[in-house]
Amino acid sequence: MNAKMTSTPTSKIVDTTVGDGLRFYGIWLAGIAVLIVLPLIFSSGGSLTSFSLIGIAIVFALSYNILLGQTGLLSFGHAVHYGLGGFAACHMMNAVVSHGWPIPLPFIPLFGGLGGLAFALVIGWVMTKRAGTVFSMISLGIAELVASSSLILRSVFGGESGISTDRTSLPKILGLSFGPQLQVYYLIAFWLVISAIAMYALTRTPLGRISNAVRDNPERVQFIGYDPHVVRYIAFCFAGFFAGVAGGLAAINFEIANAAYLGAIQSGLVLFSTFIGGVAFFFGPILGAILVTYLQLGLTSVTGVWQLYFGIIFIGIVMLSPGGIAGLIMMHRPLVRAGTLPTVIPSYLLAAVPTLALACGVILTIESIARTHSGQGSPINLFGVAFSPASPVTWASAAILVAGGFFVARLSWRRVGEAWDRATTIARDRGYLA
């Protein structure tokens, strides 16, 4: 009896780890393969630039999630480490060139990381003494402090114009000059892979597990032998290091570091990306960084009020799906396992139509108001249909889409809810849901 009780669970554990192991390596290898072939498929200069920025944003967002998702620390000043990493990288590149040191460009992000880490080591002990609101407020204060110092200490931060550098002047490695964006992209992709693997591995260490415990219940952690302050401090240093790596990559990409790197907007963006992507899963911030960077690049060219859309998306996610995109995706895992996912798909498709109509109505409304007020009055192009912002036809369409879309969307989402309830009940009966 006893032997049976212990042997059954053990064999199950082995089974799942072998299966999970294969899928696990598969996902990582697929990710690396995508990074390698992306520029071969989309080879325009614009795409390469976008991919490079997305890669940097992913490293940055993952580093932020060491704090937010893993350790439960909400920082409003994470860009400080990113920015200092950027400056450190620029100074290092210039020093390498002027002293003739034999350090090729691919090693530079490491110095960016050390820059971010150094600041975390110095400031972190005091900052991480307390979690919660105290930590958030101090992070905000430190960010302001550093941002204002950056404009005062001209020799270090280069004032308004920043510190510029020339990445092609560094010693060559493998004959690469890193002049072409393609080479820079692969450099970023390389560091992205290294950093992502390192940060994932960190979550699987004793420190990573205890960070989660500190996030959930810092009081109880003290009664299992751990000082939550030390845990938060080490996590903070890792986050600072990888933010610095991201900043170093940005410095290489733009060949400049300036005060904007470590400012509040940058800190806000990384919080935004990480949260939208979902903090509870490792891949969440990756999705968030991709989406936000893509939107940022795409929206700025089609609308003047792209921040407004960011705000709406952020509020929408916070209210409707606090787990972010990753949370939404992972909600479906029990249904996939139980085989009931197909029963909810039709209701999704049905709900998508009025929801899209509602979204179009909102966009028309926002753009009409924004464009009439800014006095430019350029037509709104929505899926190839041009609307004049000053025309009553546009306003009427907007009103109908918003009102009608909202009404029908509510009904159809209720249907989704019902289909969802049925599917989860079955999943629960089949033992795929606690």
Binding site for other proteins (CB under 8 A): 5-6, 9-10, 17, 201-202, 204-210, 212-213, 215-217, 219-227, 230-231, 234, 238, 280, 434
Closer Cβ to other proteins, 202 or 292, answer by number: 202
Closer Cβ to other proteins, 72 or 86, answer by number: 72
| Sign of the torsion formed by the C-alpha atoms of 38, 114, 141 and 254 | negative
Query: What angle in degrees, to the nearest 10, is found between the helix axes of 108-127 and 228-254?
Result: 150
Q: How far is the CB of 117 from other proteins (least distance, A)?
A: 13
Closer Cβ to other proteins, 280 or 329, answer by number: 280
Residue 156, amino acid: V
Q: How far is the CB of 10 from other proteins (least distance, A)?
A: 7
* SS3 (DSSP) at 258: coil
d(C-alpha 189, C-alpha 194), whole Å = 9
Closer Cβ to other proteins, 9 or 175, answer by number: 9
Closer Cβ to other proteins, 66 or 89, answer by number: 66
| Sign of the torsion formed by the C-alpha atoms of 420, 421, 426 and 427 | positive
d(C-alpha 160, C-alpha 228), whole Å = 40
d(C-alpha 313, C-alpha 294), whole Å = 14
Q: How far is the CB of 233 from other proteins (least distance, A)?
A: 9
Q: How far is the CB of 242 from other proteins (least distance, A)?
A: 13
- Consecutive H or E run containing 163: strand 163-164
d(C-alpha 57, C-alpha 149), whole Å = 25
Q: How far is the CB of 249 from other proteins (least distance, A)?
A: 23
- 126 close to 266: Cβ distance less than 8 angstroms: no
Q: How far is the CB of 434 from other proteins (least distance, A)?
A: 5
Closer Cβ to other proteins, 66 or 271, answer by number: 66
- 74 close to 135: Cβ distance less than 8 angstroms: yes
d(C-alpha 126, C-alpha 136), whole Å = 13
Closer Cβ to other proteins, 172 or 220, answer by number: 220
